[in-house]
Structure 1
Amino acid sequence: MIRKILSLPTLAFCFTLGSAFFAGCNEDYIKDTKVRWSNVKNPEYGDPINITLKAEGETFTTMGDYPWISFRSDVSTLDTFTSHSFSEADKDTAYYKDIVIYLTRNKRERTTTLKLVAPPNRTQQPKQFDFSIGVTPLGTYIFKVRQPALPAKAQ
């Protein structure tokens, strides 16, 4: 009797049902955790958010309407980043060359602020980097940042 219940076709059927159930739940999580960002073009799921910083330097700020956001390392080309668990600290910091990225969570207001502080780019080369933000549960936003170089006359 137990062998008939635990047969390979029965286990495969149960696995398929369980996978279908959790796949359906995943769509609900993604819909529930879609973040709306201020002053940027909000992407379709999976598309990057493009940010172009001024060559003269700029502090760029965008705000997301969800508090459970943190840096992720899987897509990031950042030099370093410091990330804390949500119970320890509400501010994370990352660096790409001399550009500083702050991620500040405000649980009371249910928002997250992303701030990029870039000095003038005097390197004669444009700066380009990607970083990813993870949303709990189950979401990722990829930011593609570009800062052109200052023209030779302006340096």
Structure 2
Amino acid sequence: MSRAGPAVVLLNLSLLVLYPIAWWAPLMRAGLLPLFSLSEISVLTGLQSLWSSDIFLALVVTLFALFAPYLKTIALTLVHFELLKPAALPVLQVLGKLAMADVFLIALYITLSRGIGLGRIEVAWGLYLFTACILASLWISWKTQQSQETTPIDEE
């Protein structure tokens, strides 16, 4: 088992379940005018819209919003169970920085939508869950890296 500790390992394993929930969860509710009902927008519904309008941007967002964080979580799990060498951690840090692009895109979307004046945006619980997953992943990476630096690696 990992030197990072059981809590870190358990939290990382929980991200394998929480990320897909966060992708389906409503990030925000948007509507054109305050009088009309609001439509819920999730990561996946946002990606569906992108696929119909801009395939390149949809590929980039899919890579950074779905694949990068999930692959990083899987790789950290492999490090925790000593199935992947800790030497991979610097690569995982780069992957984690790329995964933060999704939080930036969501923040930018909310900012732009509020600036329009005609529409209305309400933040939903999925945005908090998605952000918590990203922040937890950053903390797990940091704790894993820290545990590898403070504990000498036994070579056989």
TM range (shorter): under 0.3
Question: Rg larger in 1 or in 2?
Answer: 1
> Which has more helix, going by share of residues?
2
What TM-score does the superposition give when structure 1 sets the normalisation length? 0.26
Say which structure, 1 or 2, has more relative contact order (CA 8 Å, 6+ apart): 2
| TM-score, with length taken from structure 2 | 0.26
Q: When you count strand as a share of all residues, which structure comes out higher?
A: 1
